[in-house]
Amino acid sequence: MKLKILAVGQKMPSWVSHGYQEYAKRMPRECSLEMIEIPPAKRTKQSNVSKVVELEGKKILSMIKDVDYVVALEVKGKQWSTEELANKLSAWQGVQPSIIFIIGGADGLSAECLKRANEQWCLSALTFPHPLVRVVLAEQLYRGWSLMNNHPYHRE
């Protein structure tokens, strides 16, 4: 199973790259994690926010195949416990060859992206800066994998 993160935004601070890489490299080959950065749409003071979100959404959707299972990171989505995430990873393994996690830009995901998503996941009721979401998501995927495989990383 291949896990991919499609995230709007480029040129992240070094701590984001280091944090993400730390967890991505821990993932086993059979459950690899890949980050694909999508350039954000140009914004000006006069930009129509809904048009910007729509453009970013089109870029995201162009990178998703029909067979991909898509999880949208969405503030209005369902919150999962670590155990629920581990159960989902276990259920997807061997059934879903590619799981795509999508992270929108500063103004969120387009309605088309949310419609395409098989599930919507809210990492927390707290508001996180977009760069931090990448690190938290990678860590949670590693934690879910470790729980699923009885690895000692996750402690209850």
CATH code (residue 122): 3.40.1280.10
* pLDDT (0 to 100) of residue 19: 96
Q: Is residue 154 part of a domain?
A: no
Does the annotation list 127 as a binding residue?
A: yes
Residue 156: predicted pLDDT = 65
The torsion angle over the Cα atoms of residues 42, 47, 51 and 53, rounded to 10 degrees, is 60
**What share of the chain in percent tops pLDDT 90?**
72
| Residue 47 known to bind ligand | no
144 is in an annotated binding site: no
What is the residue range of 138's domain? 2-148
Give the mean pLDDT of 37-66. 91
The annotation status of 73 as a binding-site residue, yes or no, is yes
pTM for this one? 0.93
Average pLDDT over residues 68-79: 95
The number of folded domains in the chain is 1
Residue 77 annotated as lining a ligand binding site: no
125 assigned binding-site residue: yes
Q: Does 156 map to a domain?
A: no
Residue 75 resides in a domain: yes
Confidence grade of residue 121 (pLDDT, cut at 50, 70, 90): very high
Main-chain dihedrals φ then ψ at residue 10, nearest 5 degrees = -135, 170
